Amino acid sequence: MIAQATNPFGERNKILETVAAWVLGLLWLLPLIYAIWTAFHPAEFATRFSLTAPLTLQNFVNAWNAAPFPRYFLNTFLLVTMILIAQMVLATMAAYAFSRYRFRGDNIMFMLVLMQLMVMPDILIVENYNTMNLLGLRDTILSIGLPYFASAFGIFLLRQTFKTVPRELDEAATVEGASAMQVLWKVYVPLAKPIYLAFGLVSISTHWNNFLWPLIVTNSVESRPLTVGLQVFSSTDQGVDWSIITSATLMTSAPLLLAFLLFQRQFVQSFMRAGIR
C-alpha cells in the first residue's frame, strides 16, 4: 500500500481560516456583549467589569419612560408591514409577467428593472423628497415606504424562481379552466414559499434598520420610526448615560435578533433553494 502524502500547507491554511473566523466572530460580538453588560447593570459598571456587579432591569424602565417608544414601535411595525405587502404584490405580478409572457421590449424593461440594483437609494434622496413634498405626503409613514414599494431584488428573485416551474403545471391548470391569476396564485406562489420567506426576512430587516431617508422625510413623533427615535433619544440633549442608551438599543433591536434566532435555519435554506443564476 502506498501512503498518501499529506499537504501541510493545506492543513495550515485551514487552521488559519478557522482562527480568523473565530477572531472576526468575536470582534462582531464585542459591541453586542458590551451593550448587554451595560444594559443589565447599574451605570457605575458601564466602564468596568466586575463579577459581583448587581443585575438590574431599571435601565430598561428608564429608557422606556424617557421617550415615546411605544409609538416608535407602532410606526416601525406599520412601515415594514406596508412595505412588505406592497413589495410582495408588485414583485409577484412583475416576476410572473417577465417569466411567462413575451412582449415587445420585455428584455429591455427587465434590464431597466435590474438597473435599480446598481443605483444606491441615497442618490435619489433629494428627488424623492421633492416628490413627497409635491404629493403632500411629507412627514408621514407612507412617505417613508413609498420609494421602496417596487423592489428590483424581489422581482429578480421571484422571476428566477418562477422560471424553474415546469410548463406542464401551467398548461394543466389552464386546461382545467384556471385563469392567469388563478394559475399564479395556485401554482406559482405556493411553489415559491421558501423564496417569499427569505425575501420577507431581508425586507423586514432592511427597512427596520433604515435610518437616513426616514430621518430626512419625518420630523414628528407621529411618523418617526425606531431608528430615528433612537437617534433623537441618544442625542446630547438627553445626556450620555450609556446604561440607558444601550438598554434602548437592545429594545429596538430585540425583535430582529429574536427573528434571526427563530428563523435562521429557514432563512439559510430558503436562499439555498432560491436557485439564483
Show the cell assigned to 79. 412601515
User: How much is the average pLDDT of 58-68?
Assistant: 87
User: Who has greater pLDDT, 5 or 211?
Assistant: 211
How many Cβ atoms sit within 10 Å of the Cβ of residue 63?
A: 25
Cα(53)–Cα(56) distance, integer angstroms: 10
User: How much is the average pLDDT of 94-108?
Assistant: 86
What is the location of CATH 1.10.3720.10 in the chain? 68-275
Q: What is the CATH number of domain 68-275?
A: 1.10.3720.10
For the cut 50, the answer to whether the pLDDT of residue 277 exceeds it is: no
- pLDDT band, very low/low/confident/very high, at 7 (cuts 50, 70, 90): low
Average pLDDT, the chain: 84
User: How much is the average pLDDT of 62-91?
Assistant: 92
Cα(97)–Cα(134) distance, integer angstroms: 32
Give the SS3 label for residue 125.
Answer: helix
Q: Identify which of 41-50, 52-61, 202-211 has the greatest average pLDDT.
A: 202-211
Query: What are the pLDDT digits (tens) for 157-215?
Result: 898 888 888 888 888 888 888 788 888 888 888 888 888 888 888 899 899 989 999 99
Contacts of 242 (CB under 8 A, 6+ apart): 38, 43, 46, 47
Show the cell assigned to 45. 459598571
Burial class (CB in 10 A: 0-12, 13-18, 19+), 92: buried
Query: What are the pLDDT digits (tens) for 207-250?
Result: 998 999 999 999 888 999 999 988 888 775 555 678 888 888 88
Query: What are the pLDDT digits (tens) for 12-30?
Result: 778 888 888 889 888 888 8
Q: Which residue is listed with cell 430587516?
A: 205
pTM here? 0.83
In our burial notation (b when 16+ CB lie closer than 10 A, e otherwise), range 235-267 reads eeeeeebbbbbbbbbbbbbebeeeeeeebeeeb
Give the residue from 97, 90, 114, 104 showing the smallest Cα distance to 159: 97
